[in-house]
Structure 1
Amino acid sequence: MNMISEEMKLNRNDAKMDFFDVSNEGKLSKSEEDDAMIIDHERNVLEGYHLMDTVNMFDNRKYDEIQVECLDANDLKIPLAYKKDFKKEKLKKRKINGLNMEGNHIGQLGIDHKLDVFQNNTIKKPQTNSFNNFRNENIELYCICQKPDTGCWMIACDGCDNWYHGECVKIAKADEELLDKYFCSYSCTKKGKGYTIWKRKCRLSWCRKPASVSVSPPSKYCSKEHGVEYFKERLCYSILEKSEVAALARSVDSVEAFKCLGDSFPFEDESVMDSEILSLLKLINMQREEIYERLKQIEMRTIYINYAKDRAKKINEEIRADGSKKEICALDYRLSWDDDDWNAWVVSDDGKKIFNDGRLEGYDLMCIIEKRKCFKHNNWVAIKIEEMELEEIICRETLKKLRRQEKKIYKRQRRLKALDRENKCISIAHALE
């Protein structure tokens, strides 16, 4: 037994001497020095991986991933004795910053993850945050994305003079000419400094230019050419031929008469109609004229509601500019007048001046109670607009009913005429017999 143990010791010592051929000077051979350098390198790599895993990812939410190129560890030929020592060293290195890494690994690398080695034999330095670079270099940042000027199209806020990328605020460069005033919704609009105002777009669907509303007379198109182009497109979808539309246009003397085409039936010979039918047709025409007048009043009231709304917004902005957080009701009492008072005021000098100027000024006939305390006029803008829209719908439906009644009357008259002609033909045939 002692001989066996002695033999095992000799074999073990021989195995060690195979890898650790220590001379009298205590130095390793060149191949063993290379192996030792590889193991030292692996230890550095392991330490670098664990340092990367323990980076605090919640430190100001600025963490840059370290991308490295690795080789397969199986390509390394490491002696067995060094592997055993390296395993012990590996367990020691896992305890970093007081965290026990022997259990469940909290980093990107698990405990069963294969050891990877950098191709360049160095650990690459983490890239610094791009925003920090901009701040450190004193580069001015813009927009809600806080990035520098990259050459993209930008728009300036009229309230705070900050610049914003069109892509970030959802405004296309093609709509640049349609903007009258721009206030950023992220700051100025919330603070009540103002609202974005758009110009009226040209009626042509694909045109992105503003309509010429400032010329006299105002136009719905950016140019005369686009006005002609618009009606050419409409004719393509019309059920009438171009020659028929031209004949209709030549049959009237004014634009208003052209708009009224189709409201009533063509002229019929009233000599063959009895008095009852004629009186019914006259009544229908009178009711139609009254509805047309009412539609004009609704249009005027709707325009005035917009004037009053713009004045209320402007006055409340002036109040907030003085440092007050309160808003007034700002209802215009003229919106509550009955039809007689309203019609008399519209034709007066005061009413004509307001509609010619296109705006309201001052505090005349306006509710100045604080908005949150004025329960009587709560949400008056939406209510007044809904009233006008509902009344317009009722008028349009009444016009349709009158047209149906008129159509029935004329249809009956045509049928009677056809019967009269048929009877005359029959009587003539009998007379010839």
Structure 2
Amino acid sequence: MDSNVDEMQLATAELAIAPNALPRATSTQASPLPSLELQQPVPIEVEDPFAVISNNKPSFKYKYPQAAPTPDGEDDTVWNKVYTAADSRMYNKHHKNANESRKYRESGETRVLAIKMLAENKEKYAQAVAAAKASGIPLSAIRSTPKISTPTAGPKKKEIKKEMSSSSRDGTPGGDGIPMSISEKIKSEGRARKALPNPPSSNQGTPAPSTGPKQGTPSAAAKQGTPSSGARINSPAPEKASPVPPLKTPKPAKKGTATTVKKQHAKKAKSDAEKAGTTISKSSSQPSSQMNNTTSDSESNDGGEYCICRGPDDHRMMVYCDGGCEDWYHCSCVGIDEDDAKELLDRFICPKCHKEGELFTTWKRMCRCNNVPTIQCRKAARVAMEPPSKYCSDECAELFWRFVVSRVRTDDAPSLGGALNFKEVGQLLKEAPTAEAFHKLGQKPRLQVKEGADPNRPVGLDYLNEDEKKQIEEIQENKKRLEERIKVHQNQQKLLIMVNDRSKIAAKEPNLEVKDICGFDNRLAMNEEEFDEWFNSEEGKLAFATAKLGPRTEQTKSIGACVPYPGQVVPTPPKVSVALDNICLKPKRRCKHQNWLAIHGTDFVNMQQILKQEMKKLTEAEEEIIEDAELREATKEYYAENETIQLF
């Protein structure tokens, strides 16, 4: 009997201490103990994290397009994570510069690093599997067991022995998170422990107390049902089972031995089992130094920079640019409402990729009820259905027409430019039974183009009377004169450019006493008639043909020259080189031609704008005359059958 008790105590101690690799302690005093069948932990194998589920699947979307294609024999999801982690390393290595990390993605260096990281992860996993086979312990148990740090020979705090506590929490396995001294634990283990109504789950095979730290609950990854962080085994003690006498522990060893293990504080960890109403064991607050062998940088944050703010992915809603930059943007940074992005956004083009008329953000057509003040629906209309609809739902269609009916007047008074009554609405619907006819209500009647006629030629030109024809001829003559004047001012702009270029060349002449000369040429002072005469001369033709202005010739010196009044003394101009002929050589700040370049340039531009506005008015007057002639012909039959009384 004594041998059976010793074996039972030895087995109990092994189960309580083995998970933490503590030295085995045997009891010196034996007590009667009934035989008890111990529940062993069920081995749970861990799925291969590198199992190939899909390889280069067409519908798979990589975070970075440069990650494609997935190497042969690798899973798309695993490769995408490893490639993202490799890009994160490149990003952090180069001072968190997104442009540098993009450059290494394009050059292929990130892909080489990702392949190397993947091989390292596989090697670590193979070593973990080999260690599990050699020890005979399931891989899941090895990966879920926290690593106990070996005590060093350095200074150690003295353990304070406390007197026996009368608190009821000492009899509860795990207590309430308050550490106990060695004496308290020994004394507390001498009492029979009451079974809890809802015993906590644990990774142990028996609910007997353990002198080592408790096994931790599954990590955050297990909340989603992933067994990578270690499977959890719940082994609650039966409520009506007879209490098992605790194993008596020898007195605490001397300082420096590994038998004394300080109990850690405990904290609660939420999981899916807790949400379902299942009580789980508390996890130790001591951090586990043994990491998952297959855990790599692919599980960490990529540390990338996104959007125009160059911020991280901070869980705000983001939109993807379809313009080619392959970047994501926060809706709040680009001025897009999140609800509109979900319902109405068709294609987003970021400000960097935007091209006027080519690449721009497009939106889906909004529901027609958006115009109803009491509804203001901001969902997409069902334009793709057969037949197309302007409403997002049948409910919105009914609400819209109820709103339209509410705007119709119920009295019989005639409308004087305001809301219509039911009788008038009925007459309109009778005259325009289709949507196309309803849209044409209020438009000017048009004549159809005759067969064989030019479709771009206005139909009203065939119905002009004599007065209207004369008006059209006068307008066309005025338009020709305006076009000629506009052409003159455009040529004067070209002359201004040539004068400025010639003055810059003249300023480099070595014989000049003044370095900063005025450079004005009196050919800029010519009016439109004088300029037209000079433009048609040999000097002007040569200048505009070569885009290079030369000196004044004897033939054109009289054009634009000042005529002296009788008795006025005209000074003789000094003799200069050909490059300086007809150029003002006075200092720029002491000359009367100050800012001549800006003044003449602004004058030529303003004159062209004024002439173009006059041209626009003449064009509108011409179109109005032609439209009146067409309208007169189109309504000829109507006025023949109806009397029109002129009241003013």
TM-score interval, smaller chain: 0.3 to 0.5
Give the TM-score of the pair, scaled to structure 1: 0.35
Give the TM-score of the pair, scaled to structure 2: 0.24
The higher-RCO structure (CA 8 Å, 6+ apart) is 2
Question: Which of structures 1 and 2 has the bigger CA Rg?
Answer: 2
Structure with more helix by fraction: 1
